[in-house]
Structure 1
Amino acid sequence: MDAFLQQLPALLGVVIGALGSYLALVRSDQARFRREEAARWEERRLAVYSDYARSVKKTVTVTYRVAAALGCGTHPDPLPLDEAKPLLAEANDGRDPSGEALLMLGSVEVVDQARAWVVTVMERYVREGQRDPESWQALLARQRAGREGYYTAVREDLGLPPGHSARWRLPVTEPVPPQR
């Protein structure tokens, strides 16, 4: 019995050390699991945000083409409204599922900005056949501001640094003189 009592402090030290190692390992695994889970949700939100932007952009591109056909825009591939109607319907049908996913996974700010962007999409303008280049340019500026607000909200939600405004400044080119 004396030998057991002499070894008892060492045995208690081993038991306490093993218990401490086990608890440290469990806490470490829990923290890693939470980090990995947060990363998975962040990846899902990024995919939802990207899908939604792509679906809105499809409608925007079709409206650019129709506006060019109406004489308001400068898209290189003008498209008459009659030919654009099925493309607009397809773009709207594609936007519905991505919009629902956005509502489920998006932050309040991102969803609000998405709404502000989509309501400025110029579909109604081109469906009505308007031909006022000045009002088209104003609508175009509002749509671009809506898109910029959406991307800003997405970056803030995902903890990304500020990004590009997507307002491309094209270099002014001098006309090439005709060759003789």
Structure 2
Amino acid sequence: MSVFIQQLPALIGVVIGALGSYVVVVRGDRMRFVREQAARWEDRKLAVYADYAQSVKRTVTVTYRVAAALGNDPHPDRLSLEEAKPLLADATARRDPSGEALIMLGSPAVVDKARAWVVTALEMERFVRAGREDPEAWQALLERQRAGREGYYAAVREDLGLPPGHSARWPALETGPLPSQR
């Protein structure tokens, strides 16, 4: 019995060491799982945010082209309203599901900024569907759309913990014929 008692401190040390190792491994696995799960959600949110931005931008681009046909915008690819109607319908059909995903996964700040941006895009669509020829009113809508897009991207970057990005406000390009058309 005296040999057992002499070995008891070593045995207790081995048991404590094994339990400590087990706790460290389990805790490390749990922390890694939580980190990986957070990274997966961040990737998914980024995909949803980008998809929504592309769907709104699709509407905006078509309205630029129709506004050019009406004489409100210098966009080089003019498009009549009749030609644009199926494109606008397609843009709406694509935007609605991406909007639902955005509401489901997006932060409240991002969803609010997305709503402000899309409301302006819809106003642009109503403007061109009405056949308005008012370059000043169109420019005011463009500025609101650009500010809305900029606000949306800033909210996305903040939600994802990204550094501030570019405002995407470039100087207007020359509106004359392309070099290949001269």
Give the TM-score taking structure 1 as reference length. 0.94
Unaligned 5+ residue runs, structure 1? 173-180
Alpha-carbon distance between aligned partners in 1 of 2:45 and 2:94, rounded to the nearest angstrom: 18
Q: Which residue of 2 aligns with 1:149?
A: 151
Q: What RMSD over aligned residues (CA atoms) do the two structures have, in Å?
A: 1.0
State the partner residue of 1:178. Answer: none
Shift of 1:171: 7.7
How high is the TM-score relative to the length of structure 2? 0.93
The alignment of Structure 1 onto Structure 2 pairs a total of residues equal to: 172
Structure 1 residue identity aligned to 2:167: S
Give the match for residue 175 of structure 1: none
Could you tell me how far apart the structure 2 residues matched to 1:142 and 1:170 are?
Answer: 16
d(CA) in 1 for partners of 2:104, 2:140: 32
Deviation at 1:81, TM superposition (A): 0.2
Post-superposition offset of 1:133? 0.3
Query: CA deviation digits over 1:25-78, x for unaligned, max 9?
Result: 100110110000000000000000000000000000000000000000011100
SS of the residue corresponding to residue 120 of structure 2 reads coil
Alignment partners' CA distance in 2, 1:170 and 1:136? 15
The answer for the alignment partner of 1:135 in structure 2 is 137
Deviation larger for 161-170 or 36-45: 161-170
1:169 offset after TM fit, Å? 2.6
Query: Residue in 2 aligned with 1:55?
Result: 55
Q: Which residue of 1 aligns with 2:89?
A: 89
Q: d(CA) in 1 for partners of 2:65 and 2:19?
A: 69
The aligned runs of 1:20-169 (5 Å cut-off) are: 20-121=20-121, 122-169=124-171
Residue 170 of structure 1: CA displacement?
5.3
- Separation (CA, whole Å) in 2 of partners of 1:165 and 1:67: 23
Give aligned-pair identity as a percent: 75
**How far did 1:12 drift?**
0.3
Q: Match of 2:178? A: none
For structure 2, the 5+ residue unaligned runs are 175-182
2:170 maps to a residue whose letter is: W
Runs of 4 or more, structure 1, over 3 Å off, are: none
Q: Report the alpha carbon displacement of residue 109 of structure 1 after superposing the two structures with TM.
A: 0.2
Q: Which residue of 2 aligns with 1:176?
A: none
Q: Which structure carries more helix by proportion?
A: 2
